[in-house]
Amino acid sequence: MALTTTDLNGALPLIAKGKVRDIYEIDDSTLLFVATDRISAYDVIMKNGVKDKGKILTQISKFWFSILSDIVPNHFVSDDVSSLPAAVQPFRDQLQARSMLVRKYKILPIEAIVRGYITGSAWKEYKKQGTVHGIKVREGLQESEEFDTPIFTPSTKAELGQHDENIHPSEAAKIIGEENARKVEEIALKLYVKAKEYAATKGIIIADTKFEFGVDEHGNIILVDEVLTPDSSRFWRADTYKLGQGQDSYDKQFLRDWLTSSGLAYKDDVEMPQDIASKTAEKYIEAFEQLTGNKWTV
């Protein structure tokens, strides 16, 4: 059974409810992130969820936080439910394997997208204008082709129910300040390159991904939220990669494709058929196992 919402019966204050995560406050400096099984596509949350999706996202993020910690500090503290306050222990079944204790930081209000390959909205823009987020790129690219170098293509961070907007990096500097924008771009590109190179050894192409960052009291950039999951990235199978077309994907592109073919993209109150939910779950599990080398047993 998919867990699409959490209820801690007032044990902790619920301070935010995102597309996937319910966020509770532990104290002034610590939060509890609980990844539900909700799934969204085209910025719209489906009515039903994908079983264990939140657990898979949490375990993949934990994996990447460890691998990438030499590049930038992150907000992860622990995923040990037994270390949480006594008041929430009766709700362990809602928290086990899908919750993270994290430090609280001031969040920078942009999404730091890095693209290594041209696909999705970038491909649509390129076909019309020869640009990606307003950035001029090489002529003659084919769909799914790798860029000469990865590019930083930020977007606005929309409120729940609104749509993110692709913006030029210069617009990001206006939103978060030139210094923060410079640091975020530099760090995001380093994170992407390291993750891409690792994933390649596991037979996965990371076509693009989205990072989110905060700042601490000293102005240091901190990696927050989820990291390099099937929700925030496009993972392609390296063994079936073929230039000039869409790719076999480990992520929720499968769900997007179904919505598009059914004429349901951007529509509210959509319920996935069970076979779509099950196949999506299989993709997420496959991504976890391929990346980590571990069998999914949670």
pLDDT of 264 higher than 60: yes
Regarding whether 69 and 184 lie in a shared domain, the answer is no
Regarding whether 168 and 81 lie in a shared domain, the answer is no
Angle at 233 between CA 171 and CA 70, to 5 degrees: 85
Instruction: Quote the pLDDT of residue 179.
Output: 97
> pLDDT above 90 covers what percent of the chain?
90
Q: Once rounded to an integer, what is the mean pLDDT over residues 80-86?
A: 94
Regarding whether 119 and 247 lie in a shared domain, the answer is yes
Work out how many domains the chain is built from and give that number: 2
Single residue among 83, 104, 125 that ends a domain in this structure: 104
**DSSP code per residue over the chain:** --------TTSS-EEEE-SSEEEEEEETTEEEEEE-S--EETTEE-SS--TTHHHHHHHHHHHHHHHHTTTS-B-EEE--GGGS-GGGGGGHHHHTTTEEEEE--EEPSEEEEEEEE--HHHHHHHHHHSEETTEE--TTPPTTPEEEEEEE--EE-PPTTS---B--HHHHHHHH-HHHHHHHHHHHHHHHHHHHHHHHTTTEEEEEEEEEEEE-TT--EEEES--S-TTTEEEEEGGG--TTS---BSSTHHHHHHHHHTT-TT-SS----HHHHHHHHHHHHHHHHHHH------
Q: 163 or 294, which is more confident?
A: 294
Regarding whether 165 and 99 lie in a shared domain, the answer is no
274 occurs within a structural domain: no
Q: Once rounded to an integer, what is the mean pLDDT over residues 111-131?
A: 96
Regarding whether 76 and 194 lie in a shared domain, the answer is no
Per DSSP, what are the bridge partners of residue 99? 34
Q: Which of 35-39, 55-59, 277-281 has the lowest mean pLDDT?
A: 277-281
Q: What is the pLDDT of residues 12-53, one digit of tens each?
A: 999 999 899 999 999 999 999 999 999 998 888 999 999 999
pLDDT of 190 higher than 70: yes
7 occurs within a structural domain: no
Banded pLDDT at 163 (limits 50, 70, 90): low
pLDDT of 150 higher than 90: yes
Torsion, Cα 102 236 56 165, to 10 degrees, reads: 50
Structure token digits, residue 67: 């691998």
Instruction: Quote the pLDDT of residue 42.
Output: 85
Average pLDDT, the chain: 94
157 occurs within a structural domain: yes
Backbone angles phi, psi at 282, to 5 degrees: -60, -40
Q: Which of 71-75, 113-117, 280-284 has the lowest mean pLDDT?
A: 280-284
Single residue among 88, 104, 120 that ends a domain in this structure: 104
- Judged on CB neighbours under 10 Å (0-12, 13-18, 19+), 293 is exposed
At 210, which CATH number? 3.30.470.20
Q: Once rounded to an integer, what is the mean pLDDT over residues 47-68?
A: 97
Return the closest-CA partner of residue 64 out of 284, 236, 229: 229
8 occurs within a structural domain: no
Instruction: Quote the pLDDT of residue 165.
Output: 87
3-state SS track over 181-229:
HHHHHHHHHHHHHHHHHHHHCCCEEEEEEEEEEEECCCCCEEEECCCCC
265 occurs within a structural domain: no
pLDDT of 248 higher than 60: yes
Regarding whether 65 and 163 lie in a shared domain, the answer is no
Regarding whether 229 and 156 lie in a shared domain, the answer is yes
Q: Are strands 135-136 and 155-156 parallel, antiparallel or unpaired?
A: unpaired
252 occurs within a structural domain: yes
pTM for the whole structure: 0.94
Q: Once rounded to an integer, what is the mean pLDDT over residues 200-227?
A: 97
Return the closest-CA partner of residue 110 out of 149, 167, 54: 167
168 occurs within a structural domain: yes
Q: Which of 78-82, 197-201, 253-257, 288-292 has the lowest mean pLDDT?
A: 253-257
Regarding whether 117 and 90 lie in a shared domain, the answer is no
Domain of 39?
Answer: 14-104
Q: Once rounded to an integer, what is the mean pLDDT over residues 237-259?
A: 90
206 occurs within a structural domain: yes
Using alpha carbons, list the distances in angstroms from residue 152 to 111, 155, 166, 203, 281. 10, 10, 11, 24, 29
> pLDDT above 70 covers what percent of the chain?
98
Regarding whether 127 and 74 lie in a shared domain, the answer is no
* Cβ count within 10 A of residue 189: 18
At 24, which CATH number? 3.30.200.20
Q: Once rounded to an integer, what is the mean pLDDT over residues 204-232?
A: 96
Instruction: Quote the pLDDT of residue 81.
Output: 96
Banded pLDDT at 159 (limits 50, 70, 90): low
Q: Once rounded to an integer, what is the mean pLDDT over residues 165-191?
A: 96
